Amino acid sequence: MEFSAWFSGKSFSTDWTSRFFHTWASLLEARRAEPLEVLEIGSWEGRSAIFFLQYFRNGRLTCIDTFLGSTEHLLRDKWRVELPHVEQRFDSNLAEFGGRVQKIKDTSSRALARLGAEGRRFDLAYIDGSHRSADVLADATSCWPMMNPGGIVIFDDYEWTFFADEADRPKPGVDAFLLRQAGQYRELHRDYQLIIEKARETSRPAS
Ligand SMILES: C[S@@+](CC[C@H](N)C(=O)[O-])C[C@H]1O[C@@H](n2cnc3c(N)ncnc32)[C@H](O)[C@@H]1O
């Protein structure tokens, strides 16, 4: 499948994402025609968002981002200089999708608390915001009750080693989350990204 046409004429400074599209497309193919509710934490200039909106033509996407960047973006000049332009690029890149996309400019902790209180439910979540372990664990923990049975959660940067300190990497947060949710999910994929599917029936302890 060729994805590049979806991005032509749009404005990006980076591409952290296209290398995952083939994996996502093969894992998500069975649900492609469904009117899925997709949640994205960490949108940057909208590359992953465009994938989800193009791939799920009947789907809707909720994007959460502060548009302030993450710690790592402040440490490299090539990313830091782009920070003032990221939100404007997101807006123009996503304009064609109109009401199919909801942009929430806020921290994930505040935005997810609000979505939870509103009773929102999702079929797919992409967790690609703050990469600190504690934040990834908090994002996953807040998303999980909002995931419909059979819902899919994609964790980005599971093997990311940009920072030496484990607390600054997603992996310990993802592993802690998986430990807590043992029996409540099925693992679909594990390499640089980790992808799980929420159980359709939750397992209960034998009485
Ligand atoms: C790696 S980028 C996302 C990349 C994007 N998914 C793509 O396909 O290009 C991470 C994004 O998370 C956002 N972010 C970081 N910490 C956040 C937080 N606590 N709440 C909301 N957004 C956050 C940053 O502003 C940044 O835009």
Name the DSSP letter for residue 96: G
Contact 18, 49 (CB under 8 A): no
Burial of 27 (0-12, 13-18, 19+ CB in 10 A): middle
Torsion of CA 6, 11, 14, 18, to 10 degrees: 0
Tell the residue number behind the tokens 């590359």, with chain if given: 47
The string of pLDDT tens digits covering residues 120-166 is 999 999 999 999 999 999 999 999 999 999 999 999 999 999 889 99
Domain borders along the chain are 32-198
Contact 134, 107 (CB under 8 A): no
Please report the pLDDT score of residue 104 as a whole number: 98
3-class SS of residue 11 = coil
Please report the pLDDT score of residue 163 as a whole number: 87
Predicted structure pTM score = 0.96
Contact 166, 172 (CB under 8 A): yes
Task: Enumerate residues 6+ apart whose C-beta is below 8 A from 90.
Answer: 43, 44, 45, 46, 49, 63, 65, 67, 103
Contact 61, 38 (CB under 8 A): yes
Is pLDDT above 70 for 203? no
CA of 174 to the centre of ligand 1 (A): 17
E strands within the chain? 37-41, 60-65, 101-105, 122-127, 147-155, 185-190, 194-198
CA of 207 to the centre of ligand 1 (A): 44
Task: Enumerate residues 6+ apart whose C-beta is below 8 A from 123.
Answer: 31, 34, 36, 37, 38, 147, 148, 150, 151, 152
Please report the pLDDT score of residue 5 as a whole number: 97
The protein residue with its alpha carbon nearest to ligand 1, atom 19, reads 107
Please report the pLDDT score of residue 201 as a whole number: 76
The string of pLDDT tens digits covering residues 18-53 is 999 999 999 999 999 999 999 999 999 999 999 999
> What separation, in Å, do the N-terminal and C-terminal C-alpha atoms of the chain show?
49
What is d(CA 85, CA 50) in angstroms, rounded to the nearest whole number?
Answer: 18
Query: Residue length, the chain?
Result: 207
The protein residue with its alpha carbon nearest to ligand 1, atom 25, reads 69
Best mutation site among 16, 17, 40, 44 for ligand 1, i.e. most ligand atoms within 8 A of its Cβ? 44
Residue 142: closest CA among 181, 103, 178, 109? 109
CATH architecture of 32-198: 3-Layer(aba) Sandwich (3.40)
Average pLDDT over residues 179-191: 97
The string of pLDDT tens digits covering residues 62-97 is 999 999 999 998 889 999 999 999 999 999 999 999
